[in-house]
Structure 1
Amino acid sequence: MIIGVPKEIKTNENRVAVTPAGVAELKKHGHQVYVQAGAGEGSGFADKTYIQAGAEILPTIEATYGIAEMIIKVKEPIASEYGLIKENQLVFTYFHFASSEELTHAMIKSKAICLAYETVEKSDRSLPLLVPMSEVAGRMSIQAGAKYLEKTHKGRGILLGGVAGVKPANVLVLGGGIVGTQAAKMAAGLGANVTIMDISLARLRYLEDIMPTNVDTLVSNEYNIREMVQSADLIIGGVLIPGAKAPRLITRDMLSTMKPGTVMVDVAIDQGGCFETSKPTTHADPVYIIDDVVHYCVANMPGAVPYTSTLALTNSTLPYALQLANKGWKKACRENHELQLGLNVINGDVVYNGVAEAWNLPLVDVNNYLELETVH
């Protein structure tokens, strides 16, 4: 298969979808790999390392899309890329369709095969291609939150861990999944008082067992959230419904009950955000303030630590990319249900329920495309 790896062009996105080691593995299986010039520089991988691994370097993004049967990316295509995507071209990346109607319709129009990292799902409901970036984002959320709690950034001017004789900050974590667990660990490690909320009692029991003593668990419901936001200094939103819009757990009216300078970090912003007042921001302009509450809603948080993020992501994506390249997307998805669940849009049809529901679009049965061809 001919595989293209374009340079990410979303603002401040420095990750790359395939490392030189990944190129070498794909080449070993007989595939041709074309990498856009400079694609790996932000993550510390020079063009010459890709050439040494067996890739060919192409000068432009147009050339990379133009030659490839499969495009492997990190972030969803942006408007300038829509016209480059071809009918029947397989695009393997994070899409987060439920947060962008424009992107959804653009990919429907392209008639490409859109296989989304974030909806590849194992039988135990875990999301193997979302987990590594959720781990990074969960840990980063505390770094970012601690920074923006500083008075110079319009925060409360409170040190997360406090000092002798001064109480530490109160951190509220919404969601006990990968993001929430990593955020709570980081905040607790810095000495904050942490409360982590989730709707699953089983998950809360597990967290109660593994977390240090400065982490409390609490059932998530509107009443408890309203109570907790009043005393929180830093609030982390880490709630996820795979492939669908995130639920809005903090409403606009709750902001007026918070302390001035409270910081909210919405890690769920890729899926629309779990705060009513959330809107996507970038690393270049990461925060805004509403009702004296600082909002940090960067949509590609792991892009700020690209070396770590690229290695973590490609460790997970490469085995799936190899299956797609070795077998073709239809056979790979027939034989691997995890990959099949990653299919969101095929040749203009929406085949993933969360996307169809988000934009009130007709849902087509994915098996219509995966049926074995009749042999005559």
Structure 2
Amino acid sequence: MKIGSPREIKPQEFRVGLTPSAAREAVSHGHEVLIEAGAGMGAGFTDADYEAAGARILPDAKDIFAQAEMIVKVKEPQAGERKLLREGQVLFTYLHLAPDPEQTHGLIESGVTAIAYETVTDDRGGLPLLAPMSEVAGRLAPQMGAWTLQKANGGRGVLMGGVPGVRPANVVIIGGGVVGTAAARVAVGMGANVTVLDRSIPRMSYLDDIFQGRLTTQYSSQANLAELLPEADMVVGAVLIPGAAAPKLVTRAQLPQMKPGAAIVDVAIDQGGCFETSRPTTHADPIYEVDGVMHYCVANMPGAVARTSTIALGNATMPFMLALADKGWRQACEDDPNLLNGLNVHSGHLTYYAVGRALGIDVLSPALALKQ
């Protein structure tokens, strides 16, 4: 199979879909790997690194899309890239379709078979291709929130860990999953006063155990959140419903209850965000203010640490990428129901129910898609 990886064109996205290590593995399996010139530079990988791995360097993205049978990316295809996709081609990348009707309709119209990293599952019900980036984004969230809290950036001017005689920042994390746990780990390490909200009693017990009293857990309810917001210096949104739009847990009407200059970091922004006032931003212009509250809503947070993120993502995606290339997408998905859960679009049909519910689009069963 011809596997292609173009340079990412989303603003300030420095990751790349294939590492030289993944390229080498694919070549060793008998596949041809095509890399756009300069695609890996943002993550510290040169064209020479890919050539040493056996890949072929092509001058621009049009060549990659024209020749490759499978496109491996990081971020969702942008408008110009969607025009280059074709029927029968496989797209393997993050998609986050639920809050993005334009992309969804574009992929359906292209006829491509699109498998989304974020909905591939494992035998325990986890999301193995989302987890590495959730871990990165979670660890970044308190760092970015601390920067947002600085007075020069419009924040309250509060130091996360305080100093002797001055209280530390109050950090509220909504969601105790991979993102929330990673965010809590860093925020606690920075010396903040951390509260994690979740609805799973076993998960809260787990957090209590691993943090040994260094944070507080509370059941996630509207009443508890409303009680915490007025005292919060930072609120991290870390809620995920796989493949679906994130629930809006903090409304605009609640913002005036928060302290002027408090920071919101919405890690769920890829799925539409869990604050009513959230809208996607970029690393070039990451912060905006609504009703005195500073919002950090960068939609590709892990792109800021592109080398770490690319390697972590490549480690997770490589086995699935090789299965798709070795067997073809149909056989690979028939053999692995977890990979089939990643099928979001096929040959002019939407194939993921949560996206269909979010956007009001009819859905073709993935099992039926396999037979088409």
Alignment TM-score > 0.5, same fold: yes
- Where does structure 1 differ by over 2 angstroms across 4 or more consecutive aligned residues? none
For structure 1, list consecutive stretches of 5 or more residues without a partner in the other structure. Answer: none
CA distance, structure 1, for counterparts of residue 112 and residue 180 of structure 2: 34
What pairs up with 1:129-140 in 2 under 5 angstroms? 129-140=129-140
Q: Secondary structure at the match of 1:24?
A: helix
CA distance, structure 2, for counterparts of residue 67 and residue 364 of structure 1: 28
Q: 1:156 maps to which residue?
A: 156
Q: 1:50 maps to which residue?
A: 50
Q: Secondary structure at the match of 1:114?
A: strand
2:321 partner letter: A
Cα RMSD, aligned residues only? 0.8
Q: 1:174 maps to which residue?
A: 174
Count of aligned positions? 372
Q: Given the alignment of the two structures, is residue 207 of structure 1 paired with residue 219 of structure 2, yes or no?
A: no
Question: Does structure 2 conserve the Cα–Cα contact (< 8 Å) formed by 1:245 and 1:358?
Answer: yes
Q: 2:287 maps to which residue?
A: 287
CA distance, structure 1, for counterparts of residue 360 and residue 48 of structure 2: 47
Q: 2:328 maps to which residue?
A: 328
Q: Given the alignment of the two structures, is residue 236 of structure 1 paired with residue 230 of structure 2, yes or no?
A: no
Q: 1:189 maps to which residue?
A: 189
Q: Secondary structure at the match of 2:98?
A: helix
CA distance, structure 2, for counterparts of residue 367 and residue 294 of structure 1: 45
Question: Does structure 1 conserve the Cα–Cα contact (< 8 Å) formed by 2:351 and 2:369?
Answer: no
CA distance, structure 1, for counterparts of residue 27 and residue 254 of structure 2: 54
Question: Does structure 2 conserve the Cα–Cα contact (< 8 Å) formed by 1:20 and 1:50?
Answer: yes
Question: Does structure 1 conserve the Cα–Cα contact (< 8 Å) formed by 2:131 and 2:178?
Answer: yes
Q: Secondary structure at the match of 2:33?
A: strand
1:39 partner letter: A
Question: Does structure 2 conserve the Cα–Cα contact (< 8 Å) formed by 1:192 and 1:214?
Answer: no
Q: Secondary structure at the match of 1:256?
A: helix
What is the deviation of 1:369? 2.5
Percent identity (aligned) = 53
The TM-score normalised by the length of structure 1 is: 0.98
What is the deviation of 1:213? 2.4
What pairs up with 1:329-344 in 2 under 5 angstroms? 329-344=329-344
CA distance, structure 2, for counterparts of residue 308 and residue 62 of structure 1: 28
Question: Does structure 2 conserve the Cα–Cα contact (< 8 Å) formed by 1:119 and 1:341?
Answer: yes
Deviations 1:41-79 (A, max 9, x none): 000000011011100000010000000000000000011
What is the deviation of 1:88? 1.1
1:229 partner letter: L
CA distance, structure 2, for counterparts of residue 123 and residue 33 of structure 1: 30
What is the deviation of 1:212? 4.0
Deviations 1:7-33 (A, max 9, x none): 000000000011111111000000000
What is the deviation of 1:126? 0.6
Q: 1:13 maps to which residue?
A: 13
Q: Secondary structure at the match of 1:218?
A: strand
CA distance, structure 2, for counterparts of residue 124 and residue 219 of structure 1: 24
Q: Secondary structure at the match of 1:305?
A: helix
For structure 2, list consecutive stretches of 5 or more residues without a partner in the other structure. Answer: none
CA distance, structure 1, for counterparts of residue 42 and residue 175 of structure 2: 31
What pairs up with 1:24-35 in 2 under 5 angstroms? 24-35=24-35
CA distance, structure 2, for counterparts of residue 102 and residue 363 of structure 1: 16
What is the deviation of 1:80? 1.1
Q: 2:225 maps to which residue?
A: 225
The TM-score normalised by the length of structure 2 is: 0.99
Deviations 1:169-198 (A, max 9, x none): 000000000000000010001111000001
Q: 2:359 maps to which residue?
A: 359
Q: 2:78 maps to which residue?
A: 78
Deviations 1:85-109 (A, max 9, x none): 0111000000000010000000000
Q: 1:309 maps to which residue?
A: 309
1:291 partner letter: D
